[in-house]
Amino acid sequence: MGELLIRLGELGIGFLSIMGPLVLLMVFLKLRDERESILYGVALKELNSPDLRGLFAVKIRCSVFSRQDTVMVDLWNCPKEQVWDVIIRLSTHLPPQVRLVVNGMADSRSRSTLTLRVQRNIPSVRSVPCCR
């Protein structure tokens, strides 16, 4: 009976050593997919306005093992004010560790790329330089 339990223990340890890394990788991939779907939901919710319909494309990049996520928005034929409105709306609703990249093409002539990193840290009053 004791030898049977030892053999079953060895079999269990062997199974875990073979399947453990695969299961761990699948868990990381599932977490990445969940982060990606949450970011898509936030971006599409903020860009769902009548004045932006058909003028934008969203691409999300999430890495498997780190939390460096990027939301890329391409805007076509939008004035600079509208591009800044999109940046402000998205940056207030995205999580703090997410990088926001907005590519704006105004009047189909020039291409301007604006890259922001969303941060929620509000400086304290003591750390703001004084202008006297």
Domains of the chain as residue ranges with CATH: 33-120 (3.30.70)
In terms of Cβ atoms closer than 10 Å to its own Cβ (0-12, 13-18, 19+), residue 72 is: middle
Question: Which residues of the chain form beta strands (DSSP E)?
Answer: 56-61, 70-76, 99-106, 110-117
Per-residue pLDDT of the chain in tens (132 residues, 90 and over written 9): 889 888 989 888 888 888 888 999 999 999 999 999 999 999 999 888 888 888 888 999 998 888 788 898 888 777 778 888 888 888 888 888 888 888 876 555 556 666 555 555 555 555 545 544
Q: What is the pTM of this model?
A: 0.71
